[in-house]
Structure 1
């Protein structure tokens, strides 16, 4: 079914606003499988549609298509995101044909961010330089086969507001039938923007993009990436509870609920908002709670397949996992998409009681703490910057931040500058924020490692029982206690890895993974083994192990980490000394992730590494 048809049926049957849920394809097979169980649980809330994101340049093409096909079993209105940036026309044609073959009738047409600075970005096909070009192409090639939507930016994007509004109208005139907005946190500002949208003659449905605040760190990161306006009162409310993850999640639910009530209320003097688009980041608990508070559960008009049980039962034996891999202290301060015809099935408009989320199963995996990644088994594993290219920067910004290194010594100096915090802009492509407070406790060790040519990108000191509200180490609910093993991640030469491997054979308390750009991996961990390097105990809860380092997750992260070398290199002209250096380093170095089991001795890991 087309989204516009589902919306029309919903509006005709109930006065409750409609809503869609957005998901992205996880980077691991286990994460993908567990997302299907999560989709099954969320299907009972009856969203009017489910949307699936698309990686830049088609990087997630197959997984996005597979996930979109799977969501068709949960909701007959599936929206597949599709970007034209760095996409050949043949790939676009194949994606559209594959979507059609899978019964997908809704496309969110996006330009997408260029995979490198604008100066060196040349569209693969000059026919596709703007989202409106993609809309026109789909219309010309497929007619009315697809219901096409486009993005809008209430807080601004690349141009001034008048130009942005004009571009939006161009996309609608090209054939767009619905609009999904970028996330925002300023309800009043959104309503002013929406009034202007309607005043210029845009009448298609507008779904307001809402991303519940999951943690203080991720909130800061995502609002920075998306250039979202943040009311001072919101920051003021979050500041006192920023170290209490549970309190931040609760606040995020209440704030989103109040904001949605504001924008969907008939009391304001502007156009009524009838649709909300939840950016879930593959997390479920906050979205469930918001819908429950709003009283919207089960109010969407739903098309059911006759004679079929659409629910995939969650695995009751799923292992208790975690929500953060390789927690990066540098990021901790800000770390934060079948063949039913339109006439098939029957219409059901029922009210569903919200069931309890399963305890100690996949629904609980994404609670704490605030790391960049989830467990490889988590449905939320692998998300970093879902709406940006890998670095999210222009060429001018890259040159300003990291210069134009031409030698190994230049790179070492860059990593040292970051560690020593010469300025607020002392960052690296892997650590986009100044070092965290806990990193300063191990700074002499990291500096010494870097001076020896081992460039650290993540680390943490050993901690033996700190309070969960500790300003430096705390996470999770209040009145708890947290622990962590010393951990370090760095790029090194092959000779260094050889020495580390040899010494690790005689030190049982040291465990490591190492990988390179070719996808090769060496480790002293047996298949199925993993390292819990952060854990906590809290009143009324089981022991939580939210930071786990294991094989599948490390392999996925290593691929991304070496991809950042490639992305950085593309900000420089071909054959330039800087580009040649970055590509050579990418091809020759190894990424090592290592931890020491003895968390009682704060120097254990560093003694081992420096001796090696």
Structure 2
């Protein structure tokens, strides 16, 4: 790596459902925070289904003086609801947001219900109401959003979010680096020049990963699937193989000077810290 290249690293958390889960999360954050991440993001359930737990998690992170980027999902919410949430975060000193459409709440059934339909409308609202008070990140999809009618439609939707005022983007996780590089090329062709940070999902549990991937449209390359299937219930073998796969991916991304890496931790510290150590990034800000 060249001396001027300083990638930024961050971690995603999800709000625990139980008191025990919150205590475990606090231990995880303490371990991860020791390597000085740029920030932690915190997810937000469909239609605000985890809203109070998200607030609790963000409040605790801010009490520790940790830079926090709450996810803000807009589908099914009114302007008044979004305004109140953002004002609440502003009072806590939050200055980063991850602006998302979010999944349709159970029983809604219609994308045009509520004030917001798409994330670009949320970004537009945030800029109108709060100007440049927040650094806004949005989602990007190297393998295209599963609900997009075409690859070009997905890219055009991404451009609308950028044009609305997004500062940067975080990608859905992927295991094919060429998909990410192709996304960068397509964005450059469309005049999109914001940082697009790869989302990294460590491989520790194949059943869970397959379920997530089927739901979100992230591809697990056939050769990886077949190896993981071969290992069956051998968790140690799955973790060792998965670590090597993700380590190689991260190395290739950083060699091509990706602006950073955003780790989907699943509230676990060990996989991310092992990647950090084996990437040899001592001296960089994680």
Q: Same fold (TM over 0.5)?
A: yes
Distance 1:105 1:214, change over 3 A: same
Distance 1:120 1:165, change over 3 A: closer
Matching of residues 457-606 of structure 1 within 5 Å = none
Find the counterpart in structure 1 of residue 261 from structure 2. 276
> How many angstroms apart in 1 are the aligned matches of 2:111 and 2:120?
19
How far is the alpha carbon of 1:136 from its aligned partner? 0.6
Is structure 2 residue 137 aligned with structure 1 residue 152?
A: no
> How many angstroms apart in 2 are the aligned matches of 1:202 and 1:291?
29
Count of residues paired in the alignment? 284
1:264 is paired with a residue whose SS is helix
> How many angstroms apart in 2 are the aligned matches of 1:253 and 1:297?
19
How far is the alpha carbon of 1:29 from its aligned partner? 1.8
How far is the alpha carbon of 1:121 from its aligned partner? 5.2
Matching of residues 175-254 of structure 1 within 5 Å = 175-254=165-244
Matching of residues 414-429 of structure 1 within 5 Å = none
How far is the alpha carbon of 1:297 from its aligned partner? 4.4
Distance 1:69 1:119, change over 3 A: closer
> How many angstroms apart in 1 are the aligned matches of 2:181 and 2:57?
33
Deviations 1:364-404 (Å, cap 9, x if unpaired)? xxxxxxxxxxxxxxxxxxxxxxxxxxxxxxxxxxxxxxxxx
1:51 is paired with a residue whose SS is strand
Deviations 1:241-286 (Å, cap 9, x if unpaired)? 12201110111111111001112213xxxxx312111011111111
Find the counterpart in structure 2 of residue 293 from structure 1. 278
How far is the alpha carbon of 1:33 from its aligned partner? 2.5
Find the counterpart in structure 2 of residue 321 from structure 1. none
Stretches of structure 1 lacking an aligned partner (at least 5 in a row): 1-10, 267-271, 302-612
How far is the alpha carbon of 1:16 from its aligned partner? 4.3
Deviations 1:570-608 (Å, cap 9, x if unpaired)? xxxxxxxxxxxxxxxxxxxxxxxxxxxxxxxxxxxxxxx
> Does the CA-based 8 Å contact 1:82-1:110 persist in structure 2?
yes
Is structure 2 residue 67 aligned with structure 1 residue 41?
A: no
Distance 1:155 1:83, change over 3 A: same
Find the counterpart in structure 1 of residue 10 from structure 2. 20
Is structure 2 residue 128 aligned with structure 1 residue 143?
A: no
> Does the CA-based 8 Å contact 1:254-1:290 persist in structure 2?
no
> How many angstroms apart in 2 are the aligned matches of 1:31 and 1:14?
40
How far is the alpha carbon of 1:13 from its aligned partner? 7.7
Find the counterpart in structure 1 of residue 163 from structure 2. 173
1:129 is paired with a residue whose SS is coil
Distance 1:16 1:258, change over 3 A: farther
> How many angstroms apart in 1 are the aligned matches of 2:4 and 2:187?
25
How far is the alpha carbon of 1:205 from its aligned partner? 1.1
How far is the alpha carbon of 1:295 from its aligned partner? 1.1
> How many angstroms apart in 1 are the aligned matches of 2:205 and 2:266?
12
How far is the alpha carbon of 1:69 from its aligned partner? 2.6
Distance 1:239 1:115, change over 3 A: same
Distance 1:143 1:75, change over 3 A: same
> How many angstroms apart in 1 are the aligned matches of 2:102 and 2:87?
20
Distance 1:34 1:235, change over 3 A: closer
> Does the CA-based 8 Å contact 2:47-2:103 persist in structure 1?
no
> Does the CA-based 8 Å contact 1:45-1:298 persist in structure 2?
no
Distance 1:13 1:57, change over 3 A: farther
> How many angstroms apart in 2 are the aligned matches of 1:66 and 1:250?
34
Structure-2-length-normalised TM-score: 0.92
Structure-1-length-normalised TM-score: 0.44
- Greater RCO between the two (CA within 8 Å, min separation 6)? 2
Find the counterpart in structure 2 of residue 108 from structure 1. 98
> Does the CA-based 8 Å contact 1:278-1:287 persist in structure 2?
yes
> How many angstroms apart in 1 are the aligned matches of 2:227 and 2:6?
29
